[in-house]
Amino acid sequence: MGKTLFEKIWDSHVVVEKQNGPSLIYVDRHLVHEVTSPQAFDGLRVNKRKVRRTDLTIATMDHNVPTNNRALPILDQTSAVQIRTLEKNCKDFGIKLFDINSPNQGIVHVIGPQLGITLPGSTIVCGDSHTSTHGAFGALAFGIGTSDVEHVLASQTLWLEKPKPFEIRIEGKRKNPHAVTAKDIVLSIIKNIGTGGGTGTIIEYRGQGITDLSMEQRMTICNMSIEAGARAGLIAPDEQTFDYLRGRQYTPKNYESLVDYWKESLKTDNDAKFEKQYTLHIDNIAPQVSWGTNPGMTCDVTESVPSPDEFSKGDPNQKKGAEKALDYMDLKPGTPITDIKIDRVFIGSCTNARLEDLIEASKVIKEQKISTNVRAMVVPGSQMVKKQAEEMGLDKIFINANFEWRESGCSMCLGMNPDILSPGERCASTSNRNFEGRQGTGGRTHLVSPVMAAAAAIKGHFVDVRELDLK
């Protein structure tokens, strides 16, 4: 019987295989940031261990970094300590660090692919659940906790129970790909299979709806695999993948011979078997807006906020969850999504802050200003994205519309730096999680695509971007 792409990558990285238990897997790339690594480095010190492969370990700071003027000191002392601790740990253990002043600094999942560190067929881990982003390149990439970070630092390996392969087919063609985006595809998937729909699996996204997407759009899809509960998501590499990585700063010297090997080896066999399957037809899907407090609580922009009964389909816990979510979000069932007024807009995060996201969002503006009731910010995913966007003049388009144009980092996706919502504020956000308090205590998050967020900033409420001219 044939093998899936995931099984092929897995087999090529097994160091020790155990019957009825986890296998020891080799890790090709270990990405490190300042939040989930300090205790891991402390553990190495206590046990007098070194970092086994400093050449395969790359660090940056992204979660805590302020996104205002980088020349100013960091006011939050606990953030400053966490950032300085990473600097010290990288120096002590000999790890390459892209620090706060580096032109390569950025959200770890944005800079990996941009620098050519992310490669097809490789295994990539990071103490961050959105490591699944790198799966867009046909890498097996997943998030780990701090104990596992320590284990990988010390041994370059990880004990892992083999997840099950899950095929998600995206079929059809979007009528308006500028208005209906990769974000809307992945939110539709999570809405349909649920936040636990992928638990214990590695999703392989396949079909025309996937191969039609650019690399940056594929990253948006793989990024949110974790929101469906999957360990990782991946997409078989193709010419687009190879073109994207060609000639980047850390792309290997023998790249073309690697491409020949990848073309041969990195695809699911025709007779391979998936444990689970789901198909989404995208010909007629609408822009999506989350209304609740997990990414599965999402509906079309043309719909109204559902009642807990409609949403739960008879499951008492789902009903209770929806009631609680509506209470937290201060929404009434039956309210049209387009009637929901917003206070804040956040265009950023590892889900949607790459160059293409900013280009698409800027097309909505067309010399308009944001609504006087809205405060909106653009936080590019990396300093490189910021520079490229500025070279194209995108910063001026956003600034002229009264958006704040900021330095890169995780920012308001998770509220660890000063970019947070105040209690009760409602935000159209291009990030990945609408959990209670995620963007600041009492803050209310609606997950949307970059174009939907930009349009909401201008109108002051959600609009169906299919009605706009986005050429």
Partner 1 sequence: MKGNIIKYAQDNIDTDVIIPGQYLKVHDYAELATHAMEGLDPDFHSKVKEGDFILAGKNFGCGSSREHAPIALSHSGIKAILALSFARIFYRNAVDGAFLLPIEIDKDAYDGISEGDEIEIILSTNEIKNITKNQTYKMKPFSEIIGKIIAAGGLFKYKPDQD
What residues make contact with partner 1 under the rule CB under 8 A? 16, 18, 20-22, 35-36, 38-39, 43, 47, 63-64, 76, 78-79, 81-82, 127-129, 143-148, 150-151, 159, 161, 195-196, 199-200, 226, 229, 231, 294, 296, 317-318, 320-321, 324, 414-416, 420, 433, 435-438, 441
User: In the complex, what is the shortest distance from the CB of residue 35 to partner 1, in angstroms, rounded to a whole number?
Assistant: 5
User: In the complex, what is the shortest distance from the CB of residue 226 to partner 1, in angstroms, rounded to a whole number?
Assistant: 8
Q: Is 470 helix (H, G, I), strand (E, B) or coil?
A: coil
CB nearer partner 1, residue 261 or residue 435: 435
User: In the complex, what is the shortest distance from the CB of residue 298 to partner 1, in angstroms, rounded to a whole number?
Assistant: 14
- DSSP 8-class letter at 239: H
How far apart CA 225 and CA 223 sit, in angstroms, is 6
CB nearer partner 1, residue 329 or residue 468: 329
CB nearer partner 1, residue 331 or residue 384: 331
Please count the residues of the chain: 471
The alpha-helical segments, DSSP class H, found in 236-349 are 239-245, 255-265, 308-312, 316-329
User: In the complex, what is the shortest distance from the CB of residue 420 to partner 1, in angstroms, rounded to a whole number?
Assistant: 8
CB nearer partner 1, residue 195 or residue 307: 195
User: In the complex, what is the shortest distance from the CB of residue 326 to partner 1, in angstroms, rounded to a whole number?
Assistant: 14
Please answer whether residues 141 and 11 qualify as being in contact, where contact means their C-beta atoms are separated by less than 8 angstroms.
Answer: no
CB nearer partner 1, residue 15 or residue 258: 15
User: In the complex, what is the shortest distance from the CB of residue 320 to partner 1, in angstroms, rounded to a whole number?
Assistant: 6
How far apart CA 102 and CA 229 sit, in angstroms, is 34
How far apart CA 384 and CA 216 sit, in angstroms, is 14
Please answer whether residues 47 and 94 qualify as being in contact, where contact means their C-beta atoms are separated by less than 8 angstroms.
Answer: no
User: In the complex, what is the shortest distance from the CB of residue 308 to partner 1, in angstroms, rounded to a whole number?
Assistant: 13
Token code pair at residue 89? 């740990």
Please answer whether residues 205 and 223 qualify as being in contact, where contact means their C-beta atoms are separated by less than 8 angstroms.
Answer: no
Burial class of residue 19 in the structure, from the number of CB atoms within 10 Å of its CB (0-12 exposed, 13-18 middle, 19+ buried):
exposed
Task: Using CA atoms of 463, 466, 469, 471 in order, give the dihedral in degrees to the nearest 10.
Answer: 130
User: In the complex, what is the shortest distance from the CB of residue 246 to partner 1, in angstroms, rounded to a whole number?
Assistant: 31
Strand order of the sheet with strand 426-429? 404-405, 375-378, 344-347, 426-429, 444-447
Q: What residues contact 37, with CB distance under 8 A and at least 6 apart? A: 59, 86, 89, 127, 146, 149
CB nearer partner 1, residue 183 or residue 461: 183
CB nearer partner 1, residue 45 or residue 369: 45
CB nearer partner 1, residue 7 or residue 76: 76
